[in-house]
Amino acid sequence: MIITRPIRVGCSGIARLVSAKRLHSHLTSSSSDELSHFNELAKTWWDVSGPQRILHKMNLLRMDFIQEMLRSYVPIPPETDIYVPGYSLDLLPSEISQQIVHEQETYRDEQLKQANLRALDIGCGGGILTESLARLNYIKSVVGVDLSPGVLEAASFHKLLDPITERKITYELKPVDQVQEKYDVVTMMEMLEHVDYPAEVLIQALDKVEVGGWLFLSTINRDLISYFTTILVAEHLIGIVPKGTHSFDKYINSKELVDWIGKRPGFEVVSVRGCMYVPFKGWVFCGDGTTGNYLAAVRRLS
Amino acid sequence: MSMIFRRALASVSTKSVEPKVVDVLIVGGGPAGLTLSAALKNSRITRDLNIQLVEGFKLDGVKSFYEETPELLTNRVSSLTPQSVEFLQRIGAWKFIRQERVQPYDGMVVTEGLSDARLSFDHPEIATMCENVNLQSSLYQRIKELESQTAEGEAFGLDIKDDTKVTSITKDESNDWPIVHLSNGESIKTRLLVGADGFNSPVRKFSGIESRGWFYNRFGTVATVKLEYAPFVSCAWQRFLPTGPIALLPMPDDNATMVWSTTPELSELLTKVEPELFVSLANAAFLLNNVDMEYYYQCLRKDETEGLVDDIQWRIDHMTQKFTEEELDEKFPVKIISVQDKSRARFPLRLSHADTYVADRIALVGDAAHTTHPLAGQGLNMGQGDVQALVNALEQGITRGLDIGNLLVLEPFWADRYPENNLLLGVVDKLHKLYACTSEPIVALRSFGLNAVNQLTLLKDFMIGHVSGK
Ligand SMILES: Cc1cc2nc3c(=O)[nH]c(=O)nc-3n(C[C@H](O)[C@H](O)[C@H](O)COP(=O)(O)OP(=O)(O)OC[C@H]3O[C@@H](n4cnc5c(N)ncnc54)[C@H](O)[C@@H]3O)c2cc1C
């Protein structure tokens, strides 16, 4: 795999999004010094008490977000007796409303199970999210793609340890623009802040989403809080993330992202949610995603 | 694909006869193990798990109890807190409880042998007395009900093997999953191994988790007894003697169950003496002072028991003369008139607490994780709390697509339970030690304590909270 490093375009955020050019198909993913950096991380990827503990913990929140979005979009048909408009649910006695919620959730389980979704995890790394997706009983298969042979090897090895992941996951060493098919669930976590041409990568990712399907992504706002938590504290002060993992000018504000996606026909940004790491507690959701790290859910309507 | 990948594939596919593989293997069909099985199959989220339960003894008594309910009460009875009952209701087991054999109680009187101090509580349904086998049977019936509701063509995914012991546990070389070897020659590989296997927990030993604690040098002698008449209000009685507490707990009608905690030597004598003398001694233990009791223990030791029943009766009559009928009713439990044949048994009392309840692919619940003195009736209830927390953790883990054997899934369970259990074990231990003490200043202090507690409603509510787990 040859990755030529492009000439840096000296701008950031929205400017970086719109000015990105398709210079070379391989340029659409990570730049080379970042790749070698992730190779280093691969070895210890799966030790949940090790250096990747924060990432493992962050995965919990990602999964909560993905589950919430997918489940909430399973409609409860109005003609069934478990259909209750949201506001009246609160008016019912708690025992009855609990029972109704239980039946609604059971209904959603059944619907989702029949959906047999296919997922694509872009920038899958060691496979932490890939494996989690694969274990959901309504996901039929997951393809994980990444550009680092090292982490993919670790991921491929690790998936064999569990019959479920062994059966459902395929890892492929390729950039996103070489993925041919479309998927019901596409994920791209903590990737945009590491690439030189995020708009290109986003276009590619959106292109892989099946009509009615989802793109879940997470990245970081370009603000003081992000600088403080991800670079100053995480990399330099407490060292939970190796130095050089992030570069500030690559961060994209959630508003820029929402505006940009909103201009693309057929896509809707369903939710943007902020999240932060609280020592001794782990990752928690916070705010509307305009500061620090955030998750976004995008749906393809047509 | 990469080299490592291919090599790993090869090593997996060339393996010879693979053992059966399950998601959860539960060792122990006691209250904790059966509750966990029923709760996991009841949950919308965990019900798809493939579960194997293994119990060393035969569960015939548990299986037949609901339909062929024995006439006599059994001697292993526990007090269930309202929370435990609520949990059992939630998982659909409580409706299979033989209600005619359980007794809720709403009063509790605590006294002591060295002074007249007393502490009494009145509180609607502090707890409910229930035979362990009744509880296990309700869980078994619930499991059968859930099985009958399985959709056509779908496997239920819970198998119970009784009369089968776990003989050893090893680890799979390729992925480190535990492999459990059984006395019937079978081996089962599991994603998550749960030790609900009681105090001697083979699972805990396999996982190398240390358990700390001590033997109290006390045994609990249990017995099922008949009272002179059915009490008007159902109340639990407990009297702290220097050798340990004696408790009389209500069962339906004129039945009751007792736990007499005392020294190893005395407990052995008490399980063996003539039924008539045992009954007299038990009544005496609630009424007479410690000097009298010491004298009777001495007679037991020397096997000089001739005329002892009459002597006890004489002293009791002498002692009770001072009180009116009403005072007697209020101050002392209804007289015990007989003990059920073969119902006496004794159990060593220990405090123990495992350093952790979780390791990679391992979780411990119930007595495998902790044992306590029965004086507060908490042992089984703590196990119910463990099961609830473990089910919550597994539900959350599954929702997040995690491997349920992973520490990331199991840690919240232990973080949830350890501090609470540790606090309870500590309080119960302190109570035991406080009352095992005969030194005068301490007796004075604690009888002041008991009396003072009785006056202070707020403090009392707090104490009730502890016993009833509220
Ligand atoms: C005298 C006394 C009075 C008590 N009173 C109360 C009370 O009032 N309230 C209360 O809450 N608690 C009380 N307890 C405590 C309560 O009985 C226990 O806490 C409870 O039984 C523990 O349940 P468990 O399922 O964790 O363990 P257990 O009931 O010990 O069950 C463990 C099971 O594992 C099985 N097992 C062990 N090893 C193996 C193996 N190698 N292979 C296969 N199977 C195996 C055993 O056969 C057993 O069935 C009392 C205890 C005593 C001793």
Q: Under a CB-based contact definition with an 8 Å cutoff, are residues B403 and B189 in contact?
A: no
- Give which of B287, B320, B278 is closest to B113, Cα–Cα: B287
* CA closest to B7 among chain A residues: A157
Q: Under a CB-based contact definition with an 8 Å cutoff, are residues B434 and B453 in contact?
A: no
Task: Sort residue A222 into left (φ over 0), alpha (ψ -120 to 50) or beta.
Answer: beta
What are the φ and ψ backbone dihedral angles of B368, each rounded to 5 degrees? -65, -30
CA-to-CA dists, residue B180 to B35, B56, B162, B184, B203, angstroms: 21, 13, 15, 12, 10
Measure in Å the smallest separation between the Cα of B135 and chain A Cα atoms: 24
- Count of residues for chain A? 302
In this predicted structure, what is the pLDDT of residue A86? Answer: 65
DSSP state of A123: T
CB-nearest partner of B407 from A48, A102, A136 = A48
- Match domain A24-64+117-300 to its CATH number in 3.40.50.150, 2.60.40.420, 3.30.56.10, 2.60.40.10: 3.40.50.150
Q: Under a CB-based contact definition with an 8 Å cutoff, are residues A12 and A18 in contact?
A: no
- Give which of A274, A246, A272 is closest to A257, Cα–Cα: A272
Report chain A residues touching chain B, CB-CB < 8 A: 48-49, 56-57, 59-60, 63-64, 67, 102, 105-106, 109, 131-137, 149, 152-153, 156-157, 160-163, 171
Beta carbons of B1 and A49 less than 8 Å apart: no
CB-nearest partner of A102 from B44, B399, B403 = B44
Rounded-to-integer distance, Cα B335 and Cα B228, Å: 6
- Give which of A148, A286, A177, A270 is closest to A217, Cα–Cα: A270
Beta carbons of B2 and A160 less than 8 Å apart: no
Residues of A in contact with B398 (CB under 8 A): 135
In this predicted structure, what is the pLDDT of residue A239? Answer: 64
A158: amino acid identity, one letter: H
Largest CA distance in chain A: 64
Calculate Rg over the CA atoms of chain B.
Answer: 25
A25: amino acid identity, one letter: S
DSSP helix/strand/coil, A29: coil
In this predicted structure, what is the pLDDT of residue A24? Answer: 34
Rounded-to-integer distance, Cα A185 and Cα A117, Å: 7
A124: amino acid identity, one letter: C
Which residue positions in chain B have pLDDT lower than 50?
A: 1-16, 455-459, 469-470
Query: From the CB of residue A232, how many other CB atoms can be counted at a distance below 10 Å?
Result: 13
**Mean pLDDT in runs of 10 for chain A (302 residues)?**
33 40 39 56 72 87 96 83 71 82 90 93 94 97 92 88 95 94 96 81 94 93 65 64 69 83 91 84 82 90 92
CB-nearest partner of A153 from B4, B48, B401 = B4
As annotated, the binding site of A includes 62, 123, 146, 189-190, 193-194
CA A258 to chain centre: 15
B223 CA to centre of ligand 1 in angstroms: 17
DSSP helix/strand/coil, B20: strand
Mutate one of A111, A148, A157 to test the B interface: name it (highest B CB count within 10 A).
Answer: A157
Q: Going by C-beta distance under 8 Å and a sequence separation of 6 or more, which residues neighbour residue B152? A: none
Q: For residue B371, which atom of ligand 1 is closest to its CA?
A: 19
**Given ligand 1 and candidates B103, B259, B367, which is best to mutate, with the most ligand atoms within 8 Å of its CB?**
B367
Residue whose structure tokens are 């004298």 = B295
Residues of A in contact with B42 (CB under 8 A): none
Rounded-to-integer distance, Cα A215 and Cα B111, Å: 67
- Give which of A54, A57, A79, A199 is closest to A132, Cα–Cα: A57
Q: Under a CB-based contact definition with an 8 Å cutoff, are residues A300 and A212 in contact?
A: yes
Q: Going by C-beta distance under 8 Å and a sequence separation of 6 or more, which residues neighbour residue B350? A: B199, B213, B214, B215, B216, B371
Ranges of beta strands (E only) in B243-327 are: 244-250, 255-262
pTM over 0.90: no
Residues of B in contact with A152 (CB under 8 A): 2
CATH number of B101-129+214-347+433-468: 3.30.9.10
- Give which of A7, A4, A20 is closest to A199, Cα–Cα: A20
Q: What is the pLDDT of residues B402-425, one digit of tens each?
A: 999 999 999 999 999 998 888 888
In this predicted structure, what is the pLDDT of residue A23? Answer: 30
The partner residues of B104 in beta bridges, in order of sequence, read: B128
Rounded-to-integer distance, Cα B54 and Cα A16, Å: 61
Q: Does the domain at residues B11-97+132-210+355-432 carry the CATH identifier 3.20.10.10?
A: no
B367 CA to centre of ligand 1 in angstroms: 6
Q: Under a CB-based contact definition with an 8 Å cutoff, are residues B125 and B82 in contact?
A: yes
- Give which of B425, B279, B437 is closest to B350, Cα–Cα: B425
Provide the H-helix boundaries in A24-93.
Answer: 32-42, 53-72, 86-89
CA-to-CA dists, residue B261 to B275, B351, B366, angstroms: 18, 14, 21
DSSP secondary structure string for all residues of B352-383: EEES-SEETTEEE-GGGTEE--GGGS-HHHHH
Provide the H-helix boundaries in chain A.
Answer: 13-19, 32-42, 53-72, 86-89, 94-115, 128-135, 149-159, 163-168, 198-207, 224-226, 254-262
What are the φ and ψ backbone dihedral angles of B377, each rounded to 5 degrees? 60, 45
In this predicted structure, what is the pLDDT of residue A248? Answer: 65
In this predicted structure, what is the pLDDT of residue A99? Answer: 86
In this predicted structure, what is the pLDDT of residue A84? Answer: 72
In this predicted structure, what is the pLDDT of residue B1? Answer: 39
**Environment class of residue B204 by beta-carbon count within 10 Å: exposed (0-12), middle (13-18) or buried (19+)?**
buried
Rounded-to-integer distance, Cα A259 and Cα A254, Å: 9
Residues of A in contact with B47 (CB under 8 A): none
Residues of B in contact with A163 (CB under 8 A): 21
CA-to-CA dists, residue A248 to A170, A302, B290, B327, angstroms: 33, 35, 78, 81
- Give which of B287, B298, B290 is closest to B335, Cα–Cα: B287
Q: Under a CB-based contact definition with an 8 Å cutoff, are residues B135 and B81 in contact?
A: no
Rounded-to-integer distance, Cα B264 and Cα B298, Å: 14
- The residues spanned by each domain of chain B are 11-97+132-210+355-432, 101-129+214-347+433-468
Q: Going by C-beta distance under 8 Å and a sequence separation of 6 or more, which residues neighbour residue A87? A: none
Q: Going by C-beta distance under 8 Å and a sequence separation of 6 or more, which residues neighbour residue B326? A: none
* CA closest to A161 among chain B residues: B175
Rounded-to-integer distance, Cα A148 and Cα A138, Å: 29
Mutate one of B408, B409, B410, B414 to test the A interface: name it (highest A CB count within 10 A).
Answer: B408
Provide the H-helix boundaries in B211-253.
Answer: none
Residues of A in contact with B402 (CB under 8 A): 60, 63, 132, 135
Residue whose structure tokens are 């339960």 = B53
Measure in Å the smallest separation between the Cα of A264 and chain B Cα atoms: 31
A163 CA to centre of ligand 1 in angstroms: 34
Q: What is the pLDDT of residues A30-46, one digit of tens each?
A: 556 655 555 555 557 78
Report chain B residues touching chain A, CB-CB < 8 A: 1-2, 4-5, 8-9, 12, 21, 44, 48, 174-176, 191, 398-403, 406-408
* CA closest to A105 among chain B residues: B44
Rounded-to-integer distance, Cα A170 and Cα A142, Å: 6
Beta carbons of B175 and A160 less than 8 Å apart: yes
Tokens, residue A124: 């899958």
CB-nearest partner of A160 from B12, B398, B408 = B12
